[in-house]
Amino acid sequence: MPPEPFFNLLCRDPSSQARWGRLHTSHGVLETPAFIPVATKASVKALAPEDLWEAHTQVILSNTYHLYLRPGHQRIAQLGGLHRFMRWEGPLLTDSGGFQVFSLGNLVKVKEIGVEFRSHLDGSLHLFTPELSMEVQEALGADICMVFDECLPYPTPFQKALDSAQMNLRWAMRCKARKGREDQALFGIVQGGMFPELREEQARRLVEIGFDGYAIGGLSVGEGKELMFQMVECCTPHLPEEKPRYLMGVGTPLDLVEGVIRGMDLFDCVLPTRNARNGTLFTSQGNLLIKQARFVLDEGPLDPRCSCYTCRHYSRAYLRHLFMAGELLCLRLNTIHNVHFYNQLMADIRQAIRGGCLLELREQLQAGDIRRIEN
């Protein structure tokens, strides 16, 4: 039998651009639309791989920049690659390190050859190039790799965005030329600031170069939601239907639904895990702040419609006690719940696409009552 294609498009929602599909990787198949929990330094904060499986996680994301600095990609390769190193058996995506160009601010100098930066760990000087980014991602053994790119702050003047977009295309071509492993997919990343004409041109040019999938980056950096989705809408018509689409760094539960409605397949964000550590829990009836005094004697679960490990075993009163006492267990239990909520939401979205009722699910989410989540 011929091998499965990387991406199978199985169904479209009749009332939007939403798609249901499957991605085939060396470490398993994942259904899309899908959310990708962030394991920046080879760990989703507070969770073990077993917790991620229990929460129905399909794929995780690790960070090229951080793992290059510590413990080092060569050391991880010597230990059998990132899957074996962190005991994660499912699909794995690595970002290219490009976002750190944006986040490190004055610690970096962007040049045509790449990015010169000083390590946030010890101040040592490094030059990160598209070729080195691919070398690191190859050594880590990710199933899906990203091209090296520059992510711009908001706002950015047009000329700077134009220069950066053109450089990103040259970097993308260098990444593709350096790609050496057939078992790794490589995604191009559409940048261009908040200028539709630059985004559209970037999308067309990246498709001409040819990648296994396409991401939209440089969003959720301070612009409003309306502008963010305007940029998504100007990109998707220029991206091929038969390739997966990835909206990077987004976002809230409603952002995910809105992104799916606009034709996106993959999402990542630190929001569910970061909010969990800060005591903000996502539920089918809206957000819940576990520190509130009203939960002192509340013996009910975080979410009566949730089947996660936390909701099956622990009360709101106990979770509030853990949080107020600063107990580490609250980090794990809260994070399990939020990751499960996001994964269940994506499962509900996939079911809604198959049933032709995705817009109804959006209305439920907007009303703060997601009735499709089942026990």
Contacts of 136 (CB under 8 A, 6+ apart): 64, 67, 68, 73, 94, 97
- Within 10 Å of residue 228's Cβ, how many Cβ atoms? 24
Which of 13, 51, 95, 143 is flagged as catalytic? 95
β-pairing verdict for 125-128 and 115-118: antiparallel
* 369 classed as catalytic: no
Cβ neighbours of residue 317 closer than 8 Å, sequence gap 6 or more: 295, 296, 297, 298, 299
Q: Report whether 262 contacts 17 (CB < 8 A).
A: yes
**Torsion angles phi and psi, residue 80, rounded to 5:** 100, 10
Q: Nearest 5°: CA angle at 98, between 95 and 70? A: 65
* 3-class secondary structure per residue, 195-261: CHHHHHHHHHHHHHHCCCEEEECCCCCCCCHHHHHHHHHHHHHHCCCCCCEEECCCCCHHHHHHHHH
Residue among 207, 176, 212 at smallest CA distance from 190: 207
Q: Could you tell me if 91 and 146 are in contact, meaning their C-beta atoms sit under 8 angstroms apart?
A: no
Is-catalytic flag, 51? Answer: no
Q: Which of 13, 149, 268, 303 is catalytic?
A: 268
Residues with catalytic annotation? 95, 268
